[in-house]
Amino acid sequence: MAKAKIEVPELKEYSVMPVLQPGVMKGVGPYVSAAEFQEPLGFPGELVDNWEEKAVDKLGDLLNRYRGLRVFLDSCVRCGACTDKCHYLLGTSDPKNMPVARQDLLRQVYRRYYTLPGKFFGKMGWEWGKKLIGAREMDKEVLDDWYNYFHQCSQCRRCSVFCPYGIDTAEISMAARNIMDTVGKGQKYCNQIIGKVFKIGNNLGLPEPALLDTLEGLEEDIEDETGVKVELPLDRKDVDILLITPSADFFAEPHVDGLMGYAKVFHEAGVSWTISSYASEGANFGMFIGSYENMREISLRIRKAAIDLNVKRIVFGECGHAWRVAYSFLNTLAGPFDFLDPNYPVPQHICEFTYNLLQEDKLKFDKSRNDDMVLTFHDSCNVARATRMGDMPGGQFMIPREVIKAACNHYYDMEDETIHDQTFCCGGGGGLLTDDLMDIRVKGALPRMQSLKNVVEDHQVTHLAAICAICKSQFTKVLPYYGFKMDQIVSVHQLVSNALILTGQDED
């Protein structure tokens, strides 16, 4: 639980490997989900009686369904390459936040129950044997460690980039959370949110009238600012594009400025579009809890909305893990999308959409409107390491930067080792964006804050642009802990919105 006072780590010039402090982040983890949040997702309301056995069985089930899990649990040689790659380790010094140590929490149980020597030593009750091969009984202590440390992983995949076998701790965390949900120990934050999507259509539980109200307000704002009527339609049928965006875009700062940016871009492109109240959520927390079934359930809402509204294309707004589920999983979970226009990829990212217009020279910018800012770009982990944009590998790095540069005069990258596929997580991803995890969120932001500080000092950078709803919310909260201001984080399409000259706009 959140400590009363958060010790903010000191910003140094580079990320340095701290001296290990075993157990400093030991704790009880985030709030445990109550029965009312468990049951709608198909999970037991509280820890079931024979949970040890159930947990081991569920692990077996996952091993048979996910090759990655099996290969990852078998293959780690404890070479140590990943040990200094996790932002939570760098920020907390707790050795159990080393990716391999985090994996080992699950691997120990795997080795005990699903390998021959583990079964043998277990049956004989030979402790030395278990110790020798790194096997452990499934017990309360293990479960507590799982709950604590698998909620100190943002599933950012940075460790996977550096592992010689691509072992992805994110997959292990997802499996562990899935097992814990199955035995009745779920995380309140994620599960409550998924329940809201099932009931109302989005993470925030915004019902349709509230949504309509918000969108109308935004239309007025744009008209006041530009003199041009730009629409933000809700549930409009027979349009070109269904926009799926994280619900934070409807009200949070700076997200909402990004939403206005998308609306202006669609307006200038001359395409018709709509938001759906039924599928008014781009985020998909089913991924964070490793539940194929729940992730699919949420994805199917998007399919249904696309069919009901009779659209031709699906475009996603700025959100990291949403884009992962969209780009990498949507076709699997809710496809095939053969009823959409085959001339466009399904789905598309709003940055791809804007970038294509730039290529066709269809957008006019007055970059000087962003001259009060010097920018850098934060590659969100899910976008960088789990998706692509455009038609070449690495498009996910190039396209958002090109969009920013089209709208701004002053842009600098952070150091190479902290961007692109080596980017550091904001510290709040993977279902950790909750107040009861504030301590780990602040500490996990350390490496990102270090590289930000360096570009601030070297190039007088004033703002950090991002394309992820979680990153934006997280930075708004943690920037002040490191001596920055909360409004130094901006949306990429906020920059577009500022600089885009709308046809017929009054020149100021």
Separation of alpha carbons 351 and 406, rounded Å: 12
Task: Look up residue 221 and give its amino acid.
Answer: D
497: tokens are: 């919105």
Give the number of C-alpha atoms closer than 13 A to the C-alpha of residue 65, restricted to the C-beta side.
Answer: 13
Q: How far is CA 8 from the centre of its chain?
A: 23
Q: Which two tokens stand for residue 417?
A: 């080792």
Q: Mark 28-49 as b/e (b = at least 16 C-beta within 10 Å).
A: ebbbbbeeebbeebebbebebe
Decide: is 100 part of the binding site for ligand SF4 (CB under 6 A). Answer: yes
Single out the residue of 59, 289, 83 nearest to residue 167, CA to CA.
83
Residue from the set 29, 99, 201, 390 that interacts with ligand SF4 by CB under 6 A: 99
3-state SS string over 378-443?
Answer: CCCHHHHHHCCCCCCCCHHHHHHHHHHHHHCCCECCCCHHHCHHHCCCCCCCCCCCCHHHHHHHHH
437 touches ligand SF4 (CB under 6 A): no
Q: Which residue has the tokens 């000259």?
A: 501
Given candidates 54, 58, 96, 102, which one binds ligand SF4 under the rule CB under 6 A?
102
161 in contact with ligand SF4 (CB under 6 A): no
Looking at residues 412 to 431 of the shown chain, list those that interact with ligand SF4 (rule: CB under 6 A). Answer: 425
Instruction: With CA atoms as reference, report the closest residue to 265 among 206, 327, 339, 318.
Output: 318
Whose tokens are 């704002």? That residue is 221
Nearer to ligand SF4, 169 or 491 (CB): 169
Give residue 240's Cα distance to chain centre.
27
Question: CA 256, CA 151: separation in Å to the nearest integer?
Answer: 28
Nearer residue to other proteins within complex by CB, 142 or 211: 142
Give the 3-state secondary structure of residue 357.
Answer: helix
Closer residue to ligand SF4 (CB): 164 or 342: 164
Task: Based on the shown chain and the rule CB under 6 A, indicate whether residue 209 belongs to the binding site for ligand SF4.
Answer: no
For other proteins, the closer CB: 4 or 116: 116
CB closer to other proteins, 37 vs 146: 146
Minimum Å distance from CB 96 to ligand SF4? 10
Closer to ligand SF4 at the Cβ: 286 or 431?
431
Say which entry of ligand SF4, other proteins, none residue 253 contacts (CB below 5 to 8 A, set by partner kind): none
> Among 78, 131, 140, 364, which residue interacts with ligand SF4 (rule: CB under 6 A)?
78
Task: Please identify which residue in the block is written with the tokens 């907390």.
Answer: 92
Residue 237 interacts, among ligand SF4, other proteins, none and using kind-specific CB cut-offs from 5 to 8 Å, with none
> Binding partner of residue 17 among other proteins, ligand SF4, none, CB under 5 to 8 Å per kind?
other proteins
CB-nearer residue toward ligand SF4: 163 or 374: 163
Give the Cα separation of 159 and 157 in Å (integer): 5
- Kindly state whether residue 85 participates in binding ligand SF4, applying the rule CB under 6 A: yes
Complex with ligand SF4: residue 78 or 364, whichever CB lies closer: 78
Instruction: Tell how many helices (H) and how many strands (E) occur in the chain.
Output: 23, 7
Distance of closest approach, residue 300 Cβ to other proteins, in angstroms: 10
| Residue 485 interacting partner from ligand SF4, other proteins, none (CB closer than 5 to 8 Å by kind) | none
Q: Is 23 left (phi over 0), alpha (psi -120 to 50) or beta?
A: left
CB atoms within 10 A of CB 139: 10
Residue 63 CB, nearest approach to ligand SF4 (Å): 18
Minimum distance between the CB of residue 363 and other proteins, rounded to whole angstroms?
A: 24
Tell me which of 88, 250, 353, 355 binds ligand SF4, using CB under 6 A: 88
Beta bridge partners of 244: 316
Contact pick of 120, 165, 251, 344 for ligand SF4 (by CB under 6 A): 165
**Phi, psi of 467, deg, nearest 5:** -120, 45
Minimum Å distance from CB 81 to other proteins?
Answer: 4
Q: At what angle do helices 492-499 and 255-269 cross, to 10 degrees?
A: 50
Task: Decide: is 167 part of the binding site for ligand SF4 (CB under 6 A).
Answer: yes
- Nearer to ligand SF4 by C-beta: 27 or 184? 27
Q: 352 to each of 395, 401, 422, how far by Cα in Å?
A: 9, 11, 22
Does the footprint of ligand SF4 cover residue 159 (CB under 6 A)?
yes
Residue 378 makes contact with ligand SF4 by CB under 6 A: no
* DSSP reduced 3-state for 243: strand
CB neighbour list of residue 498: distance below 8 Å, 6 or more residues apart: 369, 370, 407
Whether residue 245 contacts residue 319, with contact meaning beta carbons closer than 8 Å, is answered with yes
Question: Restricting to residues 168-197, which ones interact with ligand SF4 according to CB under 6 A?
Answer: 169-170
- Smallest gap from Cβ 183 to other proteins, in A, equals 21
Q: 51 forms bridges with which residues in the sheet? A: none
Q: Which of 76, 333, 478, 502 binds ligand SF4 (CB under 6 A)?
A: 76
Using the rule CB under 6 A, is 222 a contact of ligand SF4?
A: no
With CB under 5 to 8 Å by kind, the binding choice for 347 among ligand SF4, other proteins, none is other proteins
Q: How many CB atoms lie within 10 A of CB 126?
A: 12
With CB cut-offs between 5 and 8 Å by kind, which of ligand SF4, other proteins, none does residue 436 bind? none
* CB 252 to other proteins: min, Å: 27
Q: Which listed option, ligand SF4, other proteins, none, makes contact with residue 6 (CB within 5 to 8 Å by class)? A: none
Contact set with ligand SF4 (CB under 6 A): 76-82, 85-86, 88, 99-100, 102, 153-159, 163-165, 167, 169-170, 425
